[in-house]
Amino acid sequence: MKIKSFFAPNLVNALNIIETLYKKDAVIHSVTSVNQGVKVCVFIKKQKKDFDIQTEKISEKKKYFSLPLKHHAFDEVFIDRLVRATKNKSVKPNDDKLLSSALEELFRFKPIYPMTEKKVYVLTGNAGSGKTSVLKKMALLAQREKINPSILSLQPNHFDLENFSNEHTIPFQTITNLSQLNETVTLLRLQSDYILIDTPALNPFNKEDMFWLKTIKTQISDAEFILTMPAGVDDKEAIAQGALFNKNGCTLLIATQLDSHVKYSGLCQTLLHNQIQLSALCFSNNIFEPIIEATPQNLAKLFAPSTCISESQNERK
């Protein structure tokens, strides 16, 4: 219900106006004498027509969101949240914009690109999450942006990363004693504009691993910690992993292996249930394929079926 006020020379005139406009859908709330007449406040019942229109809009939005998301194992609860996030937006004329605006309402985004100097990033994740591949991509991107990167590995005998650094003339250093971390990073700041720190594979359910990660955070408190999480992770496991990494310092997330999985629900649930921001989208482990900037628009494109993408491209042509 909503309240409306009517002014008239007398009560009879006011009631006639209200009855003409709303018939039986108005209930008198109060009558007050005012200069030159009366003020009548009434409750207006929600008309069935308005209710039907709103129900129809919700139904249309559910169908619209269900089409691109059905391949990604999203449940009805998530789709309902998308609908509520766009309650003040119509489905037409721009459907692509509707999905991106819903994602913008639900998630937090903090792209790492465009890159800026004087940054320290710590990349972490569990085994096979693709963090080393992401680190290499970030290092190459920094070089292309004329920003001087350096790489610090916190695990011994990381020959793959060392060979990569030598091949691309990127300063590389390794330490295993965390007591040296603060001093090492301080010296690297004098030599480099952009410091990328690689960590061993960490199990978020192992207390020792999480304590180790928290210790790094206390050593370099101004560093930004990036969690790399592959697509295809089960919803509940993804939420739990995200919560533990977030609790121990990770505030950014880069989604990886998007080319080898079609179920992205776990990634989205992690963003939805944790104080963590999406920073980039990484499709292939090929280090020469750049990471994609994390924006609501790019995330919306990720969910769209290839047929829909090709149709929209044909329309633009």
**pLDDT tens per residue across span 238-271:** 999 999 999 999 999 999 999 887 789 999 999 9
Q: Compute the average pLDDT of residues 140-161.
A: 94
Which pLDDT score is estimated for 50?
56
Of the segments 45-49, 155-159, 168-172, which one has the largest average pLDDT value? 168-172
Convert 242-256 to b/e letters by CB count within 10 Å (16 or more is b). bbbbbebbbbbbbbb
Pairwise CA distance, residues 237 & 247, whole Å: 15
Pairwise CA distance, residues 57 & 54, whole Å: 5
The H or E element spanning position 85 is helix 76-85
**pLDDT tens per residue across span 68-78:** 787 788 888 89
Edge to edge, what strands does the sheet with 149-153 contain? 172-174, 149-153, 194-198, 119-124, 224-230, 250-256, 277-281, 292-293
Contacts of residue 285, Cβ cutoff 8 Å, sequence gap at least 6: 130, 133, 257
Pairing mode of beta strands 119-124, 224-230: parallel
Give the rounded distance of the alpha carbon of 106 from its chain centre: 7
Angle at 121 between CA 228 and CA 187, to 5 degrees: 150
Pairwise CA distance, residues 208 & 152, whole Å: 21
Q: Sketch the domain layout of the chain as residue ranges.
A: 2-44, 48-106, 119-304
Q: Which two tokens stand for residue 75?
A: 């449940």
Backbone angles phi, psi at 258, to 5 degrees: -75, -15
Pairwise CA distance, residues 246 & 251, whole Å: 6
Asked if pLDDT for residue 90 goes beyond 60, the answer is yes
**pLDDT tens per residue across span 186-235:** 999 999 999 999 999 999 999 999 999 999 999 999 999 999 999 999 99
DSSP 94-148: -HHHHHHHHHHHH--B----S--SSEEEEEE-STTS-HHHHHHHHHHHHHHTT--
For domain 119-304, give the fold: Rossmann fold (3.40.50)
More confident residue, 1 or 239: 239
Q: Which two tokens stand for residue 187?
A: 């010296």
